[in-house]
Structure 1
Amino acid sequence: MSAPGTDPEMAAIKSFLAANGGPGILTADVGMLRAMLSSMSPKGGPDMFAVEDREVGGVPVRVYRPGEGVPGTIILYHGGGWVLGSVADYDHFARSLAQRTGCRVVSVEYRLAPENPFPAAVEDAWAVLSAIDADGPLFVMGDSAGGNLSAVVAQMARDRGAPKLDGQILIYPSVAGDADSAAMHAFVPSTMKREEIAAFFDLYVPAPQDRSDIRFAPLRGRLDGLPPALLIVAGDDLAADEGNRYASALAQAGVPVTLHEEPDAFHAFLTLFPDTQAASRSRQAIDAFIANRLQ
C-alpha cells in the first residue's frame, strides 16, 4: 500500500472534484441529488445467469445469480446517506460482486428519507435479512449508510437468535451517530464534509432523542457474539475514525476483525471510482474475506 499522499489516482480525482464541484445536500433538493447520483453511478457490468426483481419480506430487492449454483448469499445495502441511492445505482457494483465471489447477491431497495425517516430503513433491512432463504454461508454488506444498516442488522440477528450470519462487510460505515464529535472537526475532507454529514443525519433522524438509538449508532450497542467483520476505511474521510473505533471495539469484544485502510482514498471511492487501484485493493480484501468463509 502506498504511503499517505502518494496515490496519484486519488490525487487526480480529488483535483478534478475540487475544480468541478456540483450541487450537494446543502445546496440542492433531494430529487436533483438522486438524479445526479444515478448519472454518476457506473453502468454495465458482467452478465449474470439470472437477475430477478422481486420482494423478500415485503421489501423490493434485485437478486443476482452468477451461476446456476451458488456457494453463499450476500445481502447488499446501498449507500447514499439513507437519502440517496437505489438498487439501479448499485447494479454495476452488485454484478461485479456476484461475479467475483460466485455468490448470490440480494440488493435491497430500502425506503429512503426524508419521505421515510428512521427507523424505516432499518425495518426494511431487517425484513429482508429475517426472511431470506439462505443457501450456504450468509453475509451482510454495505457502504456508508449501507454499512450502518449492515452493522445494525448484524446486532439484531444476534439478539434474536437468527439468521446465523457468517460475516459482515462494513465499507466506510457510519456507526457513531454523532456529526459534532471532535473527530468530525479534525480535518476537512475532499468529499462528504461535516456539514453535509450533519444534513444527512437531519433528514434521516430528525428527532434528536433518536440519535443515541443503537439502530442508528451501533457503536453504542453490545458487540460480543457478532459475526466476523471486515472494515474498509478511507483515510481522507471523516467516517474513518468511527470505522477504526468500531473495528477496535469489535476486536476487544472478541469478534474476529479484518481492517483494510486506503490512506489516500475518500468517501464513496469504491462504488463511484471502481477502476482505481484503491478500489481494486479493497475488492481483493472483500473477496478474500468472503472466500475464507465459503470453505
Structure 2
Amino acid sequence: MRPAQTDELADPELTAFVEAARAPGPSVRELGAAAVRRAQRERVMARPRGPELAEVSDRDAAGVPVRVYRPGSVRRGTVVYAHGGMWTIGDLDSHDRVCRRLAATTGATVVAVDYRRAPEHPWPAAVDDVLTAITWASEDGDAGGGPLVVMGDSAGGHLVALACLRLRDAGGPMPGAQVLVCPNTDLTLSLPSTRTLATGWGLDVDDVAWGVEGWVPDPGMRARPDVSPLFAQVGGLPRAVVVTAEYDPLRDEGDAYAARLVEAGVPVTHRREPGMVHGFLTLDTVSPAAAAAGERVFADVAALMESPVV
C-alpha cells in the first residue's frame, strides 16, 4: 500500500518522475534478470556521460574487474565504490556517471567494482569481490593511494557494510570510513517503511524481495548477521556516513543501522534526505533536488578525505 499523493517530494521534476513510474507495466519479477538488465543498459545509453576526467581505465583487481577514475595527478585519497541494483542488475556502466561526478567533486581516485551478480552468483560472491577490490586498492599504490573510503548505494551499500564487518572480524587493515547511501541492511524486509512505502515511490518492495530471493535463496539465512548487517554486532567498525531518503521503502533499515552504529560507539554522520526517493544518486539529470542531494553526499566524502581520522 502507498500514499496516493506525491506533492511532498522535493521538486516538481522528481514528482513527475515518480508519477510516471507508477504507470502500469510488468514487474521485474515478471520480466526476469536478462530483460531488466537490457532495459537498464538502454537507460544508461540515453544519459549524459558525466564529467571528463584525467584518466578512466578498466583494470583487473586480483581477478575482479574494476574501473579506476582519476580526476588529476594530485591524489587526495581513494574511494572503492559498489553499485546498487538489487544484487542482480547494475554494472560499471550503470554507475559510471555517479563515479565520474564523485571523482570530479572530491578529487579522490574512485575504484568501481564490477562484482558478480545474482541469480547466477548468489551470496557471498558479491561480498567476496568487494573485499578483493578493497584489499587491492589498499595494497596497490598505483590503484589510488591516500586515505581509503568504501562506499555503496542500495545493494552496494549493503555489500560495503558486510565487507567492513568481515574485515573487522579478520583483524586486518580497515578502511578509514564507510559511506552507505540508501542501504539495504535487513534482508527480511520487516521494518515499517517496507509496508508504508511498499509501492509507487520508484522502488517497489516486491522488486527488492525478488532480488533478495535470487541472492539469498534460503529464507532461513536472511536474518544471519553475515547476510543482514542490521543483526550484526557492529562495534569496532569504521566511522560511517549513512544517508537515507524520506520516501524510500528501505528508509527504516538504513536509519536503524545508523542508530545501531551510534549505540556501538562508532562515529556516524546520519542524514535523512527530505522529499527524496531511493536511488537519487542516479537521478541528477532528472531532478535538480536529486542532483543537490547527491552533491551533499559527495561533500560528505570530501570532508572524510580531509579528516585526520581517515
Q: TM-score range by the shorter chain?
A: over 0.9
* 2:174 aligned residue (151, 156, 164): 164
Which residue in 1 is equivalent to 2:147? 137
Which residue in 2 is equivalent to 1:11? 15
The 3 A distance-change label for structure 1 pair 274 and 258 is farther
Bigger Cα displacement from structure 2, 129-138 vs 105-114: 129-138
* 1:198 aligned residue (192, 209, 221): 209
Q: Which amino acid aligns with 2:32?
A: D
Bigger Cα displacement from structure 2, 210-219 vs 176-185: 176-185
1:250 aligns with 2:250: no
**What are the residue-to-residue correspondences of 1:45-60 with 2, within 5 Å?**
45-60=50-65
Q: Which amino acid aligns with 2:208?
A: I
* 1:91 aligned residue (93, 96, 99): 96
* 2:289 aligned residue (266, 278, 287): 278
Structure 1 segments of 4+ aligned residues over 6 angstroms from their partners: none
Shift of 1:181: 4.4
1:291 aligns with 2:285: no
Task: Say whether the 8 Å CA contact 1:235–1:266 is kept in structure 2.
Answer: yes
* 2:228 aligned residue (217, 222, 229): 217
1:72 aligns with 2:82: no
Task: Say whether the 8 Å CA contact 2:191–2:253 is kept in structure 1.
Answer: no
Aligned partner of residue 212 in structure 1, secondary structure: coil
Q: Distance in 1 between matches of 2:198 and 2:282?
A: 21
Bigger Cα displacement from structure 2, 71-80 vs 23-32: 23-32
Shift of 1:292: 2.2
Shift of 1:282: 2.3
Bigger Cα displacement from structure 2, 178-187 vs 130-139: 178-187
Task: Say whether the 8 Å CA contact 1:79–1:146 is kept in structure 2.
Answer: yes
The 3 A distance-change label for structure 1 pair 238 and 70 is same
* 2:33 aligned residue (25, 30, 34): 30
Q: Which amino acid aligns with 2:43?
A: M
Bigger Cα displacement from structure 2, 56-65 vs 128-137: 128-137
Task: Say whether the 8 Å CA contact 1:260–1:282 is kept in structure 2.
Answer: no
Q: Which amino acid aligns with 1:27?
A: E
Q: Distance in 1 between matches of 2:17 and 2:235?
A: 39
Aligned partner of residue 69 in structure 1, secondary structure: coil
Task: Say whether the 8 Å CA contact 1:57–1:130 is kept in structure 2.
Answer: no
Task: Say whether the 8 Å CA contact 2:11–2:287 is kept in structure 1.
Answer: no
Q: Distance in 2 between matches of 1:176 and 1:274?
A: 30
Q: What TM-score does the superposition give when structure 1 sets the normalisation length?
A: 0.92
Which residue in 1 is equivalent to 2:163? 153
Any idea what the Cα deviations from partners look like across 1:63-109, whole Å, max 9, x if unmatched?
11111221100001011000001001111111111111111100000
Aligned partner of residue 236 in structure 2, secondary structure: coil
Q: Which amino acid aligns with 2:96?
A: D
Q: Distance in 2 between matches of 1:99 and 1:162?
A: 30
Task: Say whether the 8 Å CA contact 1:60–1:108 is kept in structure 2.
Answer: yes
| Structure 2 alignment gaps of length 5 or more | 1-6
Q: Distance in 1 between matches of 2:220 and 2:10?
A: 42
Q: What TM-score does the superposition give when structure 2 sets the normalisation length?
A: 0.88
Q: Which amino acid aligns with 1:188?
A: A
Q: Distance in 2 between matches of 1:289 and 1:176?
A: 24
Q: Which amino acid aligns with 2:158?
A: N
Aligned partner of residue 31 in structure 2, secondary structure: coil
Aligned partner of residue 79 in structure 2, secondary structure: strand
Shift of 1:235: 1.2
Shift of 1:274: 4.3
Aligned partner of residue 28 in structure 2, secondary structure: coil
Which residue in 1 is equivalent to 2:119? 114
